[in-house]
Structure 1
Amino acid sequence: MDALILQTAASGAPVTAVAGTFALFALFLSLTAHIAVRNVFGDVERKKAFAVGPVPAAIAVVFTSFGWNSFVALALAIGSDFVLVKYLYGRSTRLTAYAVFIHFVVTIILGVILFGLLVLLTSAPI
């Protein structure tokens, strides 16, 4: 709940801040899902990745906004990612689990790189 209070104090519009966070995170997760699934399954449709990203993003935003346990959120997000990839791409359970693992790894690597670049750019002297 503290994150929601801080966003209200900083911007005055918590709904806009939460919606923007959700939208950017969903887009980021859709991009990393497409990268991961394409590397595991080969050539796949781009539009299917846009169905994978919003669900884990919604779970992350809701759990963060209410201050609930982050480990439960992570498990729920990975589980929902598995179910969506399995349903949308129709591959075996083992191959789907591998794709979800690669999605997790790609998300961490790309997130660390982008966050590092953001920190470098914002801390650079003018």
Structure 2
Amino acid sequence: MLPQHQRIRTAAQFSDTQRSGSRFGNRNVVVSANIRTDAAEAPRAGFIVSKAVGNAVTRNRVKRRLRAIVTEVFDRDLGVDLSDGSIDLVVRALPASAHLDFDDLRESTTHAVHGALRKFMRRGQ
């Protein structure tokens, strides 16, 4: 579970990450990644799960799974040099994510996170 200080909560934080970050997606999720200049802060993540994904029970299940997956990703090495910043991620669930089991959703989300970070690092060079 992501602690409160690691969550993106305001509309300004969501829009900043989505506008200035790099996007990478697949048929299940779209991830926007941005590196903030404040290296002292912990990485943050926000989740967007629209009604197109399903009813409230389905949306909440997808959000819980995505939070657990992103927590695992933050605990592991992201493969990015974070000496000069901290990561913000916005994960948008697409309707196909409602029909995946946890392992497939983990693989799909992890692939998208790493892809968005690679794309952001290429853009910065």
Give the structure-2-normalised TM-score. Answer: 0.35
Structure with bigger gyration radius = 1
Q: Which has the higher helix share?
A: 1
Question: Higher strand fraction: Structure 1 or Structure 2?
Answer: 2
